[in-house]
């Protein structure tokens, strides 16, 4: 009898997972951009803790090479969970792969920060 109860519990858990998956697949996402702002950044840095990943974006406006000190004007900080950071990483990898298929490999090791000419 204990086996039958365990089988029923397992079936119930499977049903809940199936119902949750079906609900998500049927969910329509509506993007509301009424409060969105656009920013340009040519510098990005990332830090993290166990609970969050922090992305810092800003501008390097130093035009002269060989400066001993460069100030980066930070404009935006985005804080995400590690799970959201992993999904973002996967999305960005896909976008960069598609870009390189169309326009050629991006060499980020070249002098000048890797900007294409």
Q: What is the per-residue DSSP string for the chain? A: -HHHHHHHHHHHHHHHHHHHHHHHHTPPP----TT------SEEEEEE-SS-EEEEEEEE---STT-S---EEEEEEEEE-HHHHHHHHHHHHHHHHHHHHHH----TTSTTTT---
% of the chain surpassing 70 pLDDT: 73
Q: Read off the pLDDT of residues 73-117 as tens digits, 9 standing for 90 and up.
A: 999 999 999 999 999 999 999 999 999 999 999 998 855 555 544
Residues 8-37, mean pLDDT to the nearest whole number? 72
pTM for the whole structure: 0.64
Q: Read off the pLDDT of residues 47-81 as tens digits, 9 standing for 90 and up.
A: 999 999 999 999 998 877 778 888 999 999 999 99
């Amino acid at each position: 009898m204990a086996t039958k109860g365990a089988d029923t519990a397992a079936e119930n858990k499977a049903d809940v997972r199936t119902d949750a998956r079906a609900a998500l697949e049927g969910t329509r996402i509506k993007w509301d951009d009424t409060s969105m702002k656009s920013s340009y950044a040519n510098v990005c840095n990332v830090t993290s803790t166990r609970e969050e990943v922090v992305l810092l974006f800003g501008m390097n406006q130093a035009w002269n090479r060989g400066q001993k000190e460069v100030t980066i004007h930070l404009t935006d900080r985005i804080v995400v969970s590690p799970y959201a950071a992993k999904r973002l990483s996967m999305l960005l990898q896909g976008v960069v792969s598609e870009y390189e298929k169309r326009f050629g490999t991006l060499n980020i090791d070249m002098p000048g920060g890797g900007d294409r000419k």
